[in-house]
Amino acid sequence: MNQVGTTEVVDGIGILTIDYPPVNALSVHTRIALDEGFRQFAADDSVKAIVLICAGRTFIAGADISEFGKAMGGPNLQEVFDIIEGGTKPVVAAIHGTALGGGYELALICHYRIAVPSAKVGLPEVALGLLPGAGGTQRLPRIVGIPAALDLITGGAPVPAKKALELGMIDALAEEGKLREDAIAFAQKLVAEGGPLLRVRDRQDKVEPYRGKPEIYTEYLKKNARAFRGFKAPFNIVKAIEAAAELPFEQGIERERDLFGELMTSTESAAQRYYFFAEREGAKVPDLPKDTAALPVQSVGVIGAGTMGGGITMNFLNAGIPVTLVEREQAALDRGVGVIRRNYENTAAKGRMTAEQVEQRMTLLTPALELDALKDVDLVIEAVFEDMGIKKDVFGKLDKIAKPGAILASNTSFLDLDEIASVTSRPENVVGLHFFSPANVMRLLEIVRGAKTSDAVLATALKVARTISKVPVVSRVGPGFIANRVMSPRSRQAMELVLEGPTPQDIDQAIYGYGFAMGPFAMGDLVGLDVIGRGSNERTLNGDLVKLGRLGQKQGGGFYDYDDKRVASPSPVAAQVIADYATFKGVENKGPQSAEAIVARLLYPVINEGAKVLEKGVAIRASDIDVACILGYNWPVYTGGPMFWADTVGLPKVVEGLRAMGIEPAKLLVEKAASGGSFTRG
């Protein structure tokens, strides 16, 4: 046995333990261990049944994604699965942690599945732009039926053990902490009962009722058209599940293999597999010593009970960390606390929370009117108005109130953190925690590392991100940090381009077609043109529309006209305002442009800004920029984000396109284009 697998026999039960940290992925070492272990037990007459169990944090969590695209050594998954499924002795999968993807497919190959209540099982391959390629699309429908399989596999969410038991995804629950004993007992009971060995692949009762009904799949795709738009995997998943109902098992497996192969070689899957690791890279800071200890954060203070302050507060309440929420006026404080309570009550109304969980969270919240209330907290997060004077005033006062060692964080989305830190006696304890609205929902957290932010405070910020289930990217100080800065050229270019001929709907349709949920003009009308243009004294296109009472969807239309159901239509009035403004700016109408040209005009400058953020050292790596744009601005994940997409387009083409627009490409971009380099291809 290689060191990944250990075998033992206890009262006639063969126990194969897999131990391949961190998540027992189905690497070549794991496959060899499985192959050797099951062959050994098959040949051992003293073994009457087999338990497959894992050491460490989880049962097998899937194929080893880092192996994809490389030569796969050792026995392949199918060979290993055939040994297990072709055996004559009952096999019990003993599950803890998360049995996902190939891990759960392996559990489906076993004859039975037992799990502890804290375990989860699922087939999340869709998040990698793939489908379960080791029989999951053929076996799971045979257990849960076609409709449930469609949701489970196109959704990809892990299913908690209790629910999995109800669905039939597992056969029994073990007692928490007693998985090994209960799995052995379960296996011994099987031996004592004898009876036929029922393989999942042989079951028909759950797929029979759906045979010969192609409308199930067309209806399903129609119902989910919006969610599946632009992705490839969901469509292939539905085809594979249809095969489970329509074809004999072996042919269904062949169909699954073909559909899997199409996805594995697609750009979409390459982008989504890249993104899987990119999300995890963001927490790695090369020059932060690995053994840097994080400071304790057992209590938090939030200053500002507005939209951001309230959302930020909820993150910590959700993690069971008490929060003192400070606001200057009672009315604003009451409003802020009321919004938090209402948010939780709405979640409870949807059945995603219980009433007592609402109360638990609310008891962790202490409203206060004085900054003094923050004198004992470990971390203070300032979320006041985005004005340097106000922030400096707050930090100056905080510095005198907060206890020694307390971390002072700003939620600023733009301002110079070092300048804020300069008014305190503890700049090493000042850090930026830039949340995105709504802060309790958006997973992105930009951690802004000031010039003097200490390693311990940075390590603490990274740990806080994990504690409140955020995805961190670390930014140095710079205007707009990463996401806001890199994405700002998109709207700027749109406002310029709309003067040159393409209409708002041409531009919005092109950007929608690329994969964004909404184009910049529809977004402007939604947010409110008076909000977007606020603070600008010079004449702007938005301002011209606002002067006509065209504030957007909320009042009088904006770039579009809206009916009483807020359905948009092209606006002759807006067209005239645009033409007048173009004349005022001396911009010539050059007529319409192709969708491809519009996408390049709006998004190549985003790539260029990303290159600048990299060369200035504001972002650590290109993939952090992709994570920031995907999570912060809903950049379509199946393109990999601006920097991955730049490599897909080809950097020389991006450079040429920028120059054609009269935009000077960033030095780093030109260098990489000239040297055949890439941002994200290793």
- Using DSSP bridges, classify how beta strands 112-115 and 159-160 pair: parallel, antiparallel or unpaired: unpaired
Least separation in angstroms between residue 293's CB and ligand T1G is 19
The question of whether 105 is a catalytic residue gets the answer: yes
Least separation in angstroms between residue 165's CB and ligand T1G is 20
Task: Map residue 188 onto helix, strand or coil.
Answer: helix
Residue type, 670: V
The question of whether 125 is a catalytic residue gets the answer: yes
Q: Which candidate in 105, 242, 256, 446 is catalytic?
A: 105
Tokens 């010039």 found at = 451
B/e letters for 480-500, b = 16+ CB within 10 Å, e = fewer, are bbbbbbbbebbeebbbebbbe
Of the pair 318, 540, the CB lying nearest ligand T1G is at 318
Of the pair 57, 189, the CB lying nearest ligand T1G is at 57
Please check whether residue 307 is in contact with residue 335, taking contact to mean a CB–CB distance below 8 angstroms: no
Least separation in angstroms between residue 182's CB and ligand T1G is 23
Of the pair 66, 576, the CB lying nearest ligand T1G is at 66
Q: Give dist(CA 149, CA 237) in Å, integer.
A: 10
Least separation in angstroms between residue 228's CB and ligand T1G is 19
Q: Give dist(CA 361, CA 365) in Å, integer.
A: 7
Of the pair 105, 508, the CB lying nearest ligand T1G is at 105
Of the pair 24, 424, the CB lying nearest ligand T1G is at 24
Least separation in angstroms between residue 156's CB and ligand T1G is 8
Of the pair 98, 454, the CB lying nearest ligand T1G is at 98
Q: Which candidate in 36, 85, 125, 268 is catalytic?
A: 125
Query: C-alpha distances in angstroms, 445 versus 184, 458, 514?
Result: 44, 13, 25
Which pair of structure tokens corresponds to residue 519?
């184009």
Q: Give dist(CA 28, CA 20) in Å, integer.
A: 11
Please check whether residue 550 is in contact with residue 556, taking contact to mean a CB–CB distance below 8 angstroms: yes
Of the pair 276, 512, the CB lying nearest ligand T1G is at 276
**320: exposed, middle or buried (C-beta count within 10 Å: 0-12, 13-18, 19+)?**
exposed
Of the pair 82, 615, the CB lying nearest ligand T1G is at 82
Q: Give dist(CA 90, CA 47) in Å, integer.
A: 10
CA 172 to chain centre: 31
Least separation in angstroms between residue 417's CB and ligand T1G is 27
Least separation in angstroms between residue 361's CB and ligand T1G is 23
Query: Which residues bind to ligand T1G, rule: CB under 6 A?
Result: 22-23, 25, 58, 61-66, 98, 100-102, 105, 124-125, 128, 130, 132-134, 136, 277, 280
Q: How many residues does the chain have?
A: 682
Please check whether residue 340 is in contact with residue 310, taking contact to mean a CB–CB distance below 8 angstroms: yes
Tokens 């996902």 found at = 100
Q: Give dist(CA 370, CA 352) in Å, integer.
A: 34
Beta strand ranges found along 75-197 (DSSP E): 91-95, 98-100, 112-115, 120-122, 159-160, 172-173
Least separation in angstroms between residue 111's CB and ligand T1G is 20
Q: Give dist(CA 585, CA 580) in Å, integer.
A: 9
CA R_g for the chain: 28
Least separation in angstroms between residue 98's CB and ligand T1G is 4
Which pair of structure tokens corresponds to residue 199?
């393989």
Q: Give dist(CA 169, CA 143) in Å, integer.
A: 7
Beta strand ranges found along 221-349 (DSSP E): 300-303, 323-326
Q: Give dist(CA 93, CA 38) in Å, integer.
A: 13
End-to-end Cα, the chain, rounded Å:
34
Please check whether residue 25 is in contact with residue 60, taking contact to mean a CB–CB distance below 8 angstroms: yes
Residues annotated catalytic, as ranges: 105, 125
